Structure 1
Amino acid sequence: MCPRCGQEEETIMHVIKRCPPACEVWKMECWGDKWKRADLDSEKGWLSSMWEAEDRSNMEMGLTVCWVLWNNRNEEIRINPGRTTDEVMAYARSYLEEYLATQKRSDTQTTHENIKWRSAEAGYANANFDGEHKMEESVDGAGAIERDAAGKVLRACSCRIAQVNDPSVAEALAMNKAIIFSRQLGLQSVIVEGDSLEVLN
């Protein structure tokens, strides 16, 4: 029996898909209906279906979220507070970006300056955004993370953008997502940050 929800036997699929904390993650707007299909009730069937239906970027993010959900379960079993839904998404996105950046550095034998998150001034919140364009795959994506002055994640999401194929537009849509988050959270004083000067200006 699952020690967290007590609703059913704690299988792998229960932890990464059906347990209430996992359900809340897959209900987020950035995931399509395919990730929520109830008729696929095995790891192999579910992930194989996603592999056929999703592009590589979304599949990588989905698999990373599965790993974070399992890790989150282990943390809670050790009597540590687990991550919230938004924190799961933010951690998964950050982890995947760091991993992909490391692979890219290894392939090109180049070094990049790591951009660290910096806390906002007292009374302000941070709205960080990032757009991504993969020319070789004709895929665009956008992500946004909202944090308070203490660094606590208030909301986060990443999603695929269809029929854009332009890095500047991807960045602009990501910034728009960050601004929408701020409004939905009722924040009045927000510092919007991103790595696209063209969009910020």
Structure 2
Amino acid sequence: MNQDGTSSFAEWMVESFDTWPVQKRQEAAMLCWSLWKGRNNLVWNQKGLEASEVVVSARMALNKWKKAQDNMFDNFLGLMTMEDGSERWMVPDQNTVKINCDAATFEDSNCYSSTFVVRNDRGEVLKARSKCRVGSTGPDSAEAMEVREALSWTQESKHQNIMIETDCLVVVQAMRGSDLLSSYFGVLVKECKSLIHDLSSRSVSVRFVKRSANKVADFLAKATYSPSNRIWRVSDHPGFINVLMNDLI
């Protein structure tokens, strides 16, 4: 029996939930979920996580859930700004290019794709590239990989004002946070931070948007389901033209 009179973790948790405030109950529930997910990853995939990674994963998942509940989300706690969370794609400011990133995983073919689309302040497509790679990776890692690709393209371009948008909240929070993750995802985030540091002489921002504001990149990611590097043209697919036009309506 524990000092507080409970005889098991389950009993302690039930009693604690009766007295804890809502925020603490949410954090505890998400931490338990993250521990269970980490345990399954170790048992079935032989991939272990550090305790700090479990905590960060729980925190990010909770913030992601809160962001979905618009009336409950606390921007400060989630490392978010008032500019995050757009529901519709908008043309960028004058002399600014916007890069939308997305990724998709295809478990049946053991592949995953990642895409970025570059548009100017008139909504014109400057570049649209999609890659499909053989292998298995988590959706967050695939998203981080494409943000890294977009930043690499930015380095090679001459544009001075760049806005990068992704609908992966976990990637944006990880890039803004100070936690160091000893995982493949953590390595990708570190590389993204390094690229942004190298671009400090330009105006570069990475923002979170909702899926509804990222439809063009989402369309191309899902359309690229075979291993290849493809440079898209507006005329390549009628569906591509439709989603582009819908963004401008």
User: What TM-score range do you get, normalising by the shorter chain?
Assistant: 0.3 to 0.5
TM-score by length of structure 2 reads 0.33
Which structure is larger by alpha-carbon Rg, 1 or 2?
2
Q: Could you state the TM-score of these two structures normalised by the residue count of structure 1? A: 0.40
Higher relative contact order (CA 8 A, sep 6+): 2
